[in-house]
Amino acid sequence: MPSPRMTDFFDSSMRALTQGLRRGALAPLDIAEAVIERTRTAGDTYRVWSGFDPEVLRAQAREAKDRLDAGKPVRPLEAMPVAVKDIFNTVAYPTEMGSPLWAGFTPGNDARAVYNLKRAGAMVAGKTTTAEFAVHYLPDTYNPHDVLRNPGTSSTGSAVATALAVTPMALGTQTAGSIVRPASFCGVWGCKPSYGLIPRTGVLKTTDTLDSIGFYVVHAEDLGLALDAVRVSGRDYPMLHETLEDPARQAVPQGRKWKVAFARTHTWDLAPGYARAAMEEWVARLSREAEVEVVEIDLPAGMERCHDIHEAVYHRCLAYYFQQEYKSTERLSPIMQEIIAYGQGIPDQTYRDGLAEQSRLAAEMDSLLAGYDAMVSLSTAGEAPPREVTETRDPALMWTMTWLPVVSAPAFTGPTGLPFGAQLVARRYNDHRLFRLVDHLVARGCLPAGPNPRVRS
């Protein structure tokens, strides 16, 4: 485990840093100053923040110091700086959602997920840039590996903040592929947990059955720590409590191999040859691991329609939830105007049919994955395209639509040295089993422990 001495977040995981706090080898202000320095040297260049105030961060660090000086125990995320996507309500910063229509809006409260993080000891480092209303229109934030490439939408600033190690963790959201795609294009660890694990109160809503909250971390070993800090927990949530605390659901029986499914998906042929080859070589490597069994599978009938189903549900919801904003077209991007106009033309019955098909496919995927510890697929079709080019269809939204937990691992680099990822997917609510498989693969050298490649800056 890395040393707790504060250099930067590339070198020390949150687990290591909290151990340093417990031993008194590290102070909360050291951590805050690391964010401020990293913002100065890299974060400002790539424009990760929509709201950042060093004094607000230092004030939180002093509160953490006073708490520790009073002899109170170190909490799971004590003094850990977390970047927050600018669609979450926060007390300290405006919530502008990437739109001039909401410039200066101050909600006066924290989203429930932000409250949970603070309760676990975290500091809100600042607000990160996002696409307009977390949809498609890119913010003025740059891919840290190539400023001319797409950094991924819409959790853009959060992914770039972790890729640059400005913060060790950042909140994001995913309605299609908005955590997985930026993670893949920026070469970091991204997680979209099981649908419903992280509360959405105080967060911009775009759809009812697709919006999911997740996060990025610099170090793979922090995935479980981050989820447990932000999710709902306790016996007030009986179904989630019983499944997430059930050893039979979250651990592999002693002596049994990890059973991993490989799904090419209907998007496979859209990926360039180098991406397909990288995935096949990685799957072959997993197959050679003594403790892993890999099985190639076919997905349930209808999964090839996921993109069409998603489009109907998503666009119909956007047309409904942004009716008022649509009246101010001069301050709405052309792409958002087009989406809303298109969504208004989707019949109600088409929307209801889409919801029914979503529920059916989610149940079928849950049944299929009950027989596996995880399934693997590409995160994106390959490296990030140029900023002005629309991303090629990929599998990310398929697992969003079927409510599955996903980890996007920075597994690959392409022919130009840019990153792209592999998705590891599990049965709904088997999030910690998924993290245990990630830990195993990192320990075996099958996946990197941190960002890949590390940003040169």
By annotation, the residues acting in catalysis are 85, 154, 178
70: burial class by Cβ within 10 Å (0-12, 13-18, 19+)? Answer: exposed
Residues 6+ apart with CB under 8 A from 116: 199, 229, 230, 231, 232
Full strand arrangement of the beta sheet holding 123-128: 49-51, 123-128, 81-85, 169-174, 212-217, 189-192, 406-413, 419-425, 374-378, 258-262, 292-296
DSSP conformation letters of 275-298: HHHHHHHHHHHHHHSTTEEEEE-P
Backbone angles phi, psi at 378, to 5 degrees: -65, 150
- Measured between alpha carbons, how far is 27 from 7 in angstroms, rounded to an integer? 12
E strands within 323-453? 374-378, 406-413, 419-425
**Does 453 sit behind a cis peptide bond, omega within 30 degrees of 0 on the bond before it?**
yes
Name the residue among 349, 380, 403 with its Cα closest to residue 175: 403
Backbone angles phi, psi at 302, to 5 degrees: 105, -20
Answer for the pair 380, 391: CB distance below 8 angstroms, yes or no. yes
Tokens read off for 3:
């040393």
Chain-centroid distance of CA 231 in Å reads 14
Name the residue among 90, 109, 117, 111 with its Cα closest to residue 231: 117
Residue with tokens 């029986």: 253
- Measured between alpha carbons, how far is 452 from 272 in angstroms, rounded to an integer? 20
